[in-house]
Structure 1
Amino acid sequence: MRLLTLCYRVVKDAFYRFLADDGWAIASHIALSALMSLFPFLILVTALGGLLFGSAQLADQVADILLQAWPTEVATPIAGEIRRVLLGARSDLLTIGSVLAIYFASSGVESLRIGLNRAYGVIESRSWWLLRLESIGYVLIGAMGLLALSFFIVLAPLMITTAVRYAPSLHPLWSLFDSLRISAAAIVLIVALFIVHKWLPAGRRRFVTILPGIGVTLVLWLIAGELFGDYLSNFANAYVSYYAGLASVMVALVFLYTIASIFIMGGELNAAILRWREAQKAPLEATEAAES
């Protein structure tokens, strides 16, 4: 009972701080920035794929990984638009536009930084250009990491085929290949959450202090994805009636807005737990100071 009361107080504190920190407004900023950053990021991935691996088609695999965790009703129309953009892009545009793509993609990282700085109640003291360079570094590392992962996914069938040829008993490995994309998407999500909570906002936090918010974020993302998918399967026509040709974009924005709100709430939950721990330490420190 005491534990439930404590959890209720911490969650209540996190929610009210979420409201005080303009969490809904920041979530809308993150959602719009994420959607605007998605296409430039994939253009960058296409350019890097051609440069590093000699294949621009790996961008399709990266898009599949990024959209794997999205509800099918949201991911399908966005995936179609992504493929249309990537197939229509000329090689010279991929080279020239990569510079701008890096900058625009890094804006999505900056929106996450703003949200977490608000959630953790920290003030950013670093120069704006240093922050932008850091965000660009995250974008490049993320792009190369996803390319390497995509290359492995493309290479995996060849590896399995070769292994089965020499050892037929390994044929059941094919059943594991279908879950490879889902596993890759889960790994990308978890690693990304740890990176952004640990190093993106100002200040430093231990891994143990960010675990609760990350765990709650992942669980709520899964629940939100299922509920949003069910909602769209029944009421998708409403978006078509309201927004016509922009329906797919609006559906993606609403979904990203929901996901961003949960993301910020995860940071607020971590901050609320840290405030509770500090409040518990204060009387003990005061007692020790009085005794000394």
Structure 2
Amino acid sequence: MAFRHSFGSWSDRAGRAVRRIPVLGATWSVVASAAVRFNVDDGWAIASHVALSMLLSLFPFLVILGTLAALVGTREMATEAAQLVLSTWPKGVSDPISSEVNAVLERPRSGLLTLSFLASIWVASNGIEALRLALNRAYRSSEDRNPVFRRLQSLAFVAMGSIALLVVGLLLVLGPIVWSTALSYVPWLGSFSGVFHFGRFFLAAMILVIALIAAHVWLPAGRRRFVDLLPGILATLVLWMAGAAGFGYYLKDFANYAATYAGLAGVMTSIVFLYLSAGLLILGAEINAARLRYLANRALQPPPEPRSR
């Protein structure tokens, strides 16, 4: 009780000190409101639903990716694209499931109109629907769109995501070939090899950024300006990078999931990481919603009266 009282007193004093600076005061108000709303909206409970739905959607999505890659003529593109996305995850999370991802992608696939393929599309779209639910709750949006439209939109997200990753995979497969050919004609380009390889990780980061922007723009009900979505998106990215680094350090030096979950350790680390990622995504939406509320309340306040001399 004494600790709680002293911490609360310190927090109140810090809040009063920060509010004396207009920009910091506004930021403090928005972040504090977002944190409170995240708790009221059962943010971590919703994040667990999103995390489990995304994990259940992962391998059906890989089935779709592998099937489309087989139609194009090579599965190497799908493997390269999947490994690129996994490279943004902490090593302790990606390594246990990397072999399973490769096993799914390398398995021979039949045509598009098979029952298993259609079921995979439907299951993969459930992950998008879970994310829609989380964002609607954070933005306080009442979903009035047609359920058929919403499901078609989720299916479109899955299809466009698969096609985009195949294009990325094609670039990753052809990139080293083109680069080697260029070096044979222009050897001095070898000094830029580090920049070329850095582009691989930059491409992975851009995939995540574009996916995050698309989720905030099109999934929740209602219309919002991009500038109103940007603070929460940036907050999610910064917190996610810090969280991923911290979680990777935790797995490396402290956690021993194998002792607790045995053969399920890889699955559990993936669930925990997706749980953390979903929570930060929801928090980003809560920050956007809190900022919009703050701006609306400030607009309703009367202007300050001019000081008399």
TM-score when scaled to structure 1? 0.92
Counterpart contact for 1:47–1:95, Cα < 8 Å? no
Q: Bigger radius of gyration, 1 or 2? A: 2
- Output one character per residue of 1:135-176: Cα deviation in whole Å (capped at 9) or x when no partner: 000110111011101101110111112222222222234323
Counterpart contact for 2:76–2:169, Cα < 8 Å? no
Query: Is residue 169 of structure 2 the alignment partner of residue 150 of structure 1?
Result: yes
- Output one character per residue of 1:170-201: Cα deviation in whole Å (capped at 9) or x when no partner: 22343233223211110001111111111111
Distance 1:39 1:180 in 2: 27
- Output one character per residue of 1:56-80: Cα deviation in whole Å (capped at 9) or x when no partner: 2222112112212100010011111
Any residues of structure 2 matched to 1:92-171 within 5 Å, and which? Answer: 92=110, 96=114, 97-171=116-190
**270-279 or 60-69, larger mean C-alpha shift:** 60-69
Cα 1:95–1:68 shift into 2, 3 Å: farther
Query: Is residue 242 of structure 2 the alignment partner of residue 223 of structure 1?
Result: yes
Partner of 1:213: 232
Distance 1:17 1:121 in 2: 10
Counterpart contact for 1:46–1:57, Cα < 8 Å? no
Q: Which AA in structure 2 matches 1:129?
A: V
Question: Once superposed, what is the RMSD of the aligned Cα atoms?
Answer: 1.7
Counterpart contact for 1:28–1:257, Cα < 8 Å? yes
Counterpart contact for 1:10–1:272, Cα < 8 Å? yes
Any residues of structure 2 matched to 1:194-209 within 5 Å, and which? Answer: 194-209=213-228
Query: Is residue 279 of structure 2 the alignment partner of residue 261 of structure 1?
Result: yes
Query: Is residue 109 of structure 2 the alignment partner of residue 91 of structure 1?
Result: yes
Counterpart contact for 1:68–1:181, Cα < 8 Å? no
Describe the SS at the equivalent of 1:178: helix
Q: Which AA in structure 2 matches 1:262?
A: L
Distance 1:8 1:262 in 2: 18
Partner of 2:6: none
Partner of 1:290: none
Distance 1:84 1:148 in 2: 21
Segments of 4+ in structure 1 off by > 6 A?
Answer: none
- Pick from 7, 12, 23: which aligns with 1:3? 23
Partner of 2:9: none
Distance 2:189 2:108 in 1: 42
Q: Residue 35 of structure 1: CA displacement?
A: 0.7
- Pick from 67, 80, 86: which aligns with 1:61? 80
Distance 1:236 1:63 in 2: 26
Distance 2:152 2:215 in 1: 15
Distance 2:113 2:74 in 1: 14
Counterpart contact for 1:50–1:56, Cα < 8 Å? yes
- Output one character per residue of 1:194-221: Cα deviation in whole Å (capped at 9) or x when no partner: 1111111101111100110011100000
Distance 2:269 2:79 in 1: 21
Q: Which AA in structure 2 matches 1:250?
A: M
- Pick from 272, 282, 301: which aligns with 1:283? 301
Q: Residue 224 of structure 1: CA displacement?
A: 0.3
Distance 2:100 2:111 in 1: 18
> Gapped runs of 5+ residues in structure 2?
1-20
Distance 1:229 1:93 in 2: 39
Counterpart contact for 2:143–2:221, Cα < 8 Å? yes
Percent of aligned positions that are identical: 44
Counterpart contact for 1:46–1:94, Cα < 8 Å? no
Distance 1:70 1:93 in 2: 31
